[in-house]
Amino acid sequence: MNWPRTLNGFRFALAALGVVCAACSDQSPALPDQPVEGLQPNILLLMAEDLGPRIGALGDSTARTPRLDQFASEGTRFTEAFATSGVCAPSRAAIITGIHQNHWGAGHMRAAGGGYVPAPAPEVKAFPEILRASGYQTFNDGKTDYQLGLRLGGAFGGPTSPWDDTQARGWADRDPKRPFFAFVNLGQTHESQIWPTWQLPNSLVTWALWPLRILNHWSWPHRTFANEVIVPPYYPDTRTVRDDIARHYNNIASLDVAVGELLDQLQEDGLADNTIVIFTADHGDGFPRAKRWLYDSGLHVPLIVRWPGVTPPGTTSDQLISLIDLAPTILSMANIQPPSWMEGHIFIGPDQDLDGRPYVYAARDRIDEQPDTVRAVRDNRFKYIRHYHPERPYVLPSDFRDHMPLMRELIEQNESGQLKGPTTLWFRQHRDHEELFDTLRDPHEISNLADDPIQATQLRKMRRALDDWLEENPDLGFLPEQTLRDRFFPNRKQPITTAPHIRFLGEHATIETGTAGASIEFRLNGGPWQLYSGPLTIAPNSHIEARARRYGWAESEITKALN
């Protein structure tokens, strides 16, 4: 297999990032031997970073995305898909579990920065682990960042039980007797890639990201120029702003090439007809007032699905979708019944929830070093945002974000009094307690209608929708973060999973651990780690090793035994 050259380059850069940052820094059914013919397709999830719906096929005339446009013509475009957070770690925590991040303590960016790792309820498993327990070979390519690990500030690491390979090259090492699920992360559009190549890094992290940016910018297949872009009304129309927006479009062109190479690889491997491909992003654009925020610019994501034989080519759906819907939908695609604790809806396929969802919800809590509490609800037209700290300014210092030339331009123009009109709104020293936007008439969310008497009924409706949601599920983001740390890391120490116990009865072996909800992996005679799901048949004189880990806890010691 000739693995796509673009993706290999990004894997190399991510590995370099890992080296630099490291310096600073209930059991499932037995696994079948092979899938039931026709019932378990391969599934490929392509997830861009920091990308709104800036795709030609989704209506962006500036974007140069021929491969994504072609891909969209072969499947269904979902125009109203939204993340649960405007920043990666909380959003990914919701994606991987199918549960809103604030309902299990994963709302802060990143939890590891607060000195803990959140632990969901014992029965909760990441959807790739459920796939793996049902016979799928599961691959993760790139970052994890699901709020379940401590390595590299939480961006990598975490439990290994969801994955056969945690740093895979897509599906390159697949077992042809098993269906695969591959989660490929695409970093070309990450916020850090908007910075210019010549800009010198100011920290170890930004130094680590510099090679990736050079590689990315060197390989731009198309050039969008500053005079071609549209500047949203909340930014001043300056050359610096235009340059950063143009750079983002050039990165999108690189992303398009990477996606095309992956799709070509599927075709070359003879897998395209039996592989469902999903393209989306972890949250919206990486620009200021988008990333980290609950405006549509930070939450609205592209979502395109090609499911051979199911999605009619070239179709469009405007149903409201939250990214927590990915987990149950992907399980349904694999003919696996989603567990009852998942909060998402199945949005496509034979098991689609035809009633859909009336609302999507989002949250903003601590962002890096800045504590905050903001909640939002959106229907197909209106967005309601509630600020629990209206006494604070909108713009709070953020070392990573403030490295972007566009952000520095905003700060400098604000300090010199040059900002005018809508560009001043985000720089107010106090927030509106409530914000209500008509996203149909006001897609940039500039005109707050919360005090408009004409919208009083709509305001009450959206308030009630948010209140009902907050009452239905405990929102751990309202707890002081010290309380969360004490809850998940008693005495400031990560709980350790109990080591597994291996029992033999003739040629059969069972493995147990005293930690409720822990996942168990085993391997025989030094072979690959496998997910344990029931009694094993072990040949005489075989060496067996077992390890266990509950999500949010430290991994157990490895137990070794000889049959």
Is 88 annotated in the active site?
yes
- Determine if residue 491 is left, alpha or beta; phi over 0 gives left, psi from -120 to 50 gives alpha, anything else beta: left
Distance CA 203, CA 143 (A): 20
Strands laid side by side in the 508-512 sheet: 501-505, 508-512, 536-537
Listing DSSP states for 217-271 in one string gives HHT-SS---GGGSPPPTTS---HHHHHHHHHHHHHHHHHHHHHHHHHHHHHHTT-
Distance CA 206, CA 192 (A): 8
Tokens representing 277 are 């491909």
> In 389-443, at which residue ranges do the beta strands (DSSP E only) sit?
434-438
What residue ranges define each of the domains in the chain, with the CATH number in brackets? 43-358 (3.40.720.10), 364-491 (3.30.1120.10), 495-562 (2.60.40.10)
- Decide: residue 142, CB within 10 A, 0-12 exposed, 13-18 middle, 19+ buried: buried
Distance CA 56, CA 79 (A): 12
Strand partners, 66: none
Say if CB 6 and CB 253 are below 8 A apart: no
Query: Any residues with CB less than 8 A from the CB of 70 and at least 6 apart, and which?
Result: none
Residue 467 CA: distances (Å) to CA of 222, 358, 377: 47, 15, 10
Say if CB 171 and CB 183 are below 8 A apart: no
Tokens representing 238 are 């300056």
Q: Helix (H, G, I), strand (E, B), or coil: what is residue 537?
A: strand
Q: Phi and psi at residue 366, in whole multiples of 5°?
A: -55, 130
Residue pointed to by tokens 């809806």: 345
Listing DSSP states for 155-198 in one string gives TS---STT-SBTT--TTTT--TTS-EEEEEEE-TTSGGGGS-TT
- Decide: residue 111, CB within 10 A, 0-12 exposed, 13-18 middle, 19+ buried: buried
The tens place of each residue's pLDDT in the chain, 563 residues long, gives: 555 544 444 443 444 444 333 333 333 333 333 334 446 999 999 999 999 999 999 999 999 999 999 999 999 999 999 999 999 999 999 999 999 999 999 999 999 999 999 999 999 999 999 999 999 999 998 789 999 999 888 888 899 999 999 988 899 999 999 999 999 999 999 999 999 987 777 777 777 788 888 888 888 998 999 999 999 999 999 999 999 999 999 999 999 999 999 999 999 999 999 999 999 999 999 999 999 999 999 999 999 999 999 999 999 999 999 999 999 999 999 999 999 999 999 999 999 999 999 999 999 999 999 999 999 999 999 999 999 999 999 999 998 899 899 999 999 999 999 999 999 999 999 999 999 999 999 999 999 999 999 999 999 999 999 999 999 999 999 999 999 999 999 999 999 999 999 999 988 999 999 999 999 999 999 999 999 999 999 999 999 999 999 999 999 999 999 98
Residue pointed to by tokens 């000889």: 562
**320 HSE (CA, 13 A, CB side):** 15
Instruction: Show the 3-state SS of 188-199.
Output: CCCHHHHCCCCC
Report the amino acid identity of residue 464.
R
The closest alpha carbon to 120, from 513, 473, 546, 556, belongs to 473
Which member of 88, 117, 303, 518 is catalytic?
88
Element holding 20 (H helix, E strand): helix 5-23
